[in-house]
A and B are shown apart, each in its own frame.
Chain A
């Protein structure tokens, strides 16, 4: 059996919630272990993660840093840095961690597919949705919009050519890969880059205009939708943990073939009841050990 690799974690007085979430989301073969300068490192330690308030003068390498508010470590160069998404001390290039819940039912629907979904539902070819605190509105750009309750937002986020939203509704829209327009505060809070992940408008009129233009620009909408979705997804603790391992050169042991098959399907975002999962199960069911070496298709399909 392969011994797990260990990530030594050097924390100050408190362990930030975001850091705890990332450590919990590390791949199964990577174990986080508490470390201090006074104690010997556990066997198998391959990398270090320091909270910035516990960063020594000469950190052990390779290492990453979790930015703690008020503990400025200056320019870290190529050293990976992590921080809470949207925090004021975030620097460009930081791995931003969001503790917002990812909508379980959300699936990325890029503009070409959503145009097809509108077509088969006889919806307008171009459709803009807007989330407000008291509900949502939707309609073709330039026409009087229809009103709907706030709980219809995920549907609109999956179908609209472009959406206008902030806060949780923006997060939901990004989970559905909707081409999105927001305000500057909305982009900053979710750690999004204006013009790359979302369009930003300073006032309602500007945001409406940007959304109408976006609804009419397939190419820009596709780039924005893909980027916004991937960026939001990368802020989830599991996404940050995977990227942290990559940047630190920490490689978990390869999975066994059968559990690897499930892991591969999961990593690609495959829905539980998809045809390809059933085909994969059928293809491997007759192989010795296929069910006993960790692959539990019954759970995946019915959980």
Chain B
């Protein structure tokens, strides 16, 4: 089949969504399809919010199948449209509801009319799809609650899944993420003040908060205990996963989160928070990881528990590895392209 994968992109920003789209293209090509990736820029602020959806509406896409991945690419019109939804415009939905700082929607009539119209547009565009998949239970639940639409969660292997491997359980917890507000990097820094040596934290990844978090570490006198290497090459990252005691991933209401799955491929337990969203699709407290209350003290207690009981860490990590044993891109491709 000739398949066009559609995705939105914020210029100069590269994250999980872009990786996801490229991995999907690769998986479809491996399955023998001819595939192209079409991206259009997106703006998130209210004043320009509807421009990109309208542009997608007018883009002529000649293909046997289109697979739209994120807001607003699912506004593309095609008689054979499948949506694999990574996220909607969260600032108009859950971010708005939670009063998140990254949402510019306020409790006034202008914002509510914009939000209402976006809801109507989303329902119209998503209802055209032959099938709507989501990438997690959290995204499906949001779609059901905000738009009244059903969807089927469809999980996929994370990047590096083919090279990640278990290793020794070392003396550090690993965090792999962009250092941004919704990932709550300060939480781990504050928690480490309550974790005795020799346990360390390695926080891999860049992001707009990186310098601020580095200053936080310095100011808290945790320089020898918390490392912030910034960007880490893939090969080094694989070894960091392999040697960790556990992986800490405490985002706020995450859509999917590759870190959790990468940790499981490396046989490591994941410590998350009770409000970490889709991470909780995978992390079951005491089974594949530990779910803390989202406070620095609670997170520190979870880290200490695993540091004091490496056998527990191994058991949870092994269960996590078993949990992702059936994930495959071949299955994803088969379901997305099924007639």
- The answer to the question of A18 belonging to the interface, with a C-beta cut-off of 8 Å to chain B, is no
Q: Which residues of B contact A268 (CB under 8 A)?
A: 57, 120-121, 124-125
Q: A113-B112, A120-B107, A218-B145 are in contact. Are A108 and B54 (CB under 8 A)?
A: no
> Quick check: B57 and A264 within 8 Å, CB to CB?
yes
Q: CB-nearest residue of chain B relative to A117?
A: B112
Nearest B residue (CB) for A271? B117
| Known A-B contacts A112-B93, A112-B97, A230-B123; A257 and B148 likewise in contact (beta carbons under 8 Å) | no
User: Measured between alpha carbons, how far is A139 from B146 in the docked complex, in Å?
Assistant: 23
Q: Does B335 contact A (CB under 8 A)?
A: no
Instruction: Check A226/B107 contact, CB under 8 A, given A107-B120, A112-B97, A257-B58.
Output: no
Of B50, B97, B123, which is within 8 A of A275 by CB? Answer: B50
Say which residue of A222, A260, A276 sits within 8 Å of B50 (CB atoms): A276
- Quote the shortest CB–CB distance from B71 to chain A (angstroms): 14
Separation of A46 and B295 alpha carbons in the complex (Å): 66
Residues B145 and A222 in contact, CB atoms below 8 Å apart = yes
Task: Tell me if A156 is interfacial: C-beta within 8 Å of chain B.
Answer: no
Question: Least Cβ distance of B113 to chain A in Å?
Answer: 8
Report chain B residues within 8 Å CB of A271.
117
**Minimal Cβ-Cβ distance residue in A for B109:** A120
- The answer on a CB contact under 8 Å between B107 and A119 is yes
Is the beta-carbon distance between A113 and B115 smaller than 8 angstroms?
yes
**B134-157 toward A: CB 8 Å interface, digit per residue (1/0)?**
000000010011111110000000
- B331 interface contact, C-beta 8 A: no
Residues of B within 8 A of A117 (CB): 109, 112
Distance, CA A15 to CA B141, complexed state (A): 46
Measured CA separation A113–B93 after assembly (Å): 9
Taking the nearest CB of chain A, how far is it from the CB of B45, in angstroms? 12
CB pair A261 B119 closer than 8 Å: no
Is the beta-carbon distance between B146 and A112 smaller than 8 angstroms? yes
Q: Does A224 contact B (CB under 8 A)?
A: yes
The listed residue (B57, B121, B124, B144) touching A222 by CB distance below 8 A is B144
With A223-B144, A275-B50 in contact, is A113–B119 under 8 Å at CB? yes
Counting contact residues on chain A (CB < 8 A from B), the size range is: 35 or more
Q: Nearest Cβ in chain A — how far from B88, in angstroms?
A: 12
Instruction: Chain B residues near A280: list those with CB within 8 A.
Output: 54
CB pair B47–A275 under 8 Å, yes or no, is: yes
**Contact residues in B for A23 (Cβ distance below 8 Å):** none
| Complex CA distance for A268 and B116, rounded to whole angstroms | 12
Q: A264-B58, A275-B47 are in contact. Are A116 and B115 (CB under 8 A)?
A: yes
Asked if residues B50 and A269 are in contact (CB atoms below 8 Å), the reply is no
Contacts of B104 in A (CB 8 A): none
State whether B50 touches A279 (Cβ < 8 A).
Answer: yes
Chain B residues bordering chain A, tally (CB within 8 A): 33
Is B322 on the interface with A (CB-CB < 8 A)? no
Q: Is B108 on the interface with A (CB-CB < 8 A)?
A: yes
- Cα separation A112 to B149 with both chains bound (whole Å): 13
CB-based contact A112/B119 at 8 Å = yes
Q: Which residue of chain A lies nearest to B148 when distances are taken between CB atoms in the complex?
A: A226
* Cα distance A119–B107 in the bound complex, in angstroms: 8
Known contacts A116-B107, A265-B54; A270/B117 CB under 8 A = yes
Complex Cα spacing A171 to B124, Å: 20
Which chain A residues (262-301) contact chain B, with CB distance < 8 Å?
264-265, 267-271, 274-276, 279-280, 283
Residues of B with C-beta under 8 A to A226: 123, 147-149
Residues of B within 8 A of A225 (CB): 148
CA distance A226 to B123 in the complex (A): 8
Shortest CB–CB separation between residue B179 and chain A, in angstroms? 31
Residue ID in chain A nearest B150 by CB atoms: A223
A residues 223-250 with Cβ under 8 Å of B?
A: 223-227, 230
With a cutoff of 8 Å between Cβ atoms, the chain A residues found around residue B141 in the complex are 219
When chains A and B are docked, how far (Å) is the Cα of A116 from the Cα of B97? 9
**B127 on interface, CB distance cutoff 8 Å:** yes
B115 near A267: Cβ-Cβ < 8 Å: no
A116 to B77 CA separation, bound complex (whole angstroms): 31
A8 adjacent to chain B (CB < 8 Å): no
B77 CB to closest chain A CB, in angstroms?
A: 8
Residue of A nearest to B143 (CB): A222
A227 near B112 (CB under 8 angstroms)? no
A95-130: CB near B (< 8 Å → 1, else 0) gives 000000000000111111100110110000000000
Specify which chain A residues have a CB less than 8 angstroms from the CB of B148 in the assembled complex.
110-111, 222-227
Say if the beta carbon of B168 comes within 8 Å of chain A: no
The verdict on B234 contacting chain A, using a C-beta distance below 8 Å, is no
B51 on the interface (CB 8 Å rule)?
A: yes
Bound: A267/B108 CA distance, A: 26
**Complexed CA–CA distance, A107 and B108 (Å):** 18
A219 in contact with B58 (CB, 8 Å): no
Give Cα A230–Cα B51 distance, bound, in whole angstroms.
24
Complex: chain B residue closest to A270, CB-CB: B117
Contact yes or no, A260 B58, CB < 8 A: yes
> Which residue of the partner chain, among A112, A120, A219, contacts B108 with CB atoms under 8 Å?
A120
Q: Is the CB of A276 within 8 A of B54?
A: yes
For the complex, what is the distance from the CA of A261 to the CA of B48, rounded to whole Å?
A: 16
Which A residues are in CB contact (< 8 Å) with B117? 269-271, 274
The answer on a CB contact under 8 Å between A109 and B116 is yes
**Considering residues A112, A223, A260, which has the most beta carbons from chain B within 10 angstroms of its beta carbon?**
A112
CA distance A119 to B108 in the complex (A): 9
Going nearest first, the 5 A-B pairs with the smallest beta carbon separation are A226-B148, A276-B50, A222-B148, A264-B57, A113-B116
Known: A110-B147, A268-B57. 13 other contacts (CB 8 A): A111-B148, A112-B93, A120-B109, A218-B145, A219-B144, A222-B144, A223-B144, A260-B58, A269-B121, A269-B124, A275-B50, A276-B51, A283-B51
Residues of B within 8 A of A (CB): 47-48, 50-51, 54, 57-58, 60, 77, 93, 97, 107-109, 112, 115-117, 119-121, 123-125, 127, 141, 144-150
Can you spell out 8 A-B residue pairs with CB atoms less than 8 angstroms apart? A110-B123, A112-B115, A113-B112, A219-B144, A223-B144, A269-B117, A270-B117, A271-B117
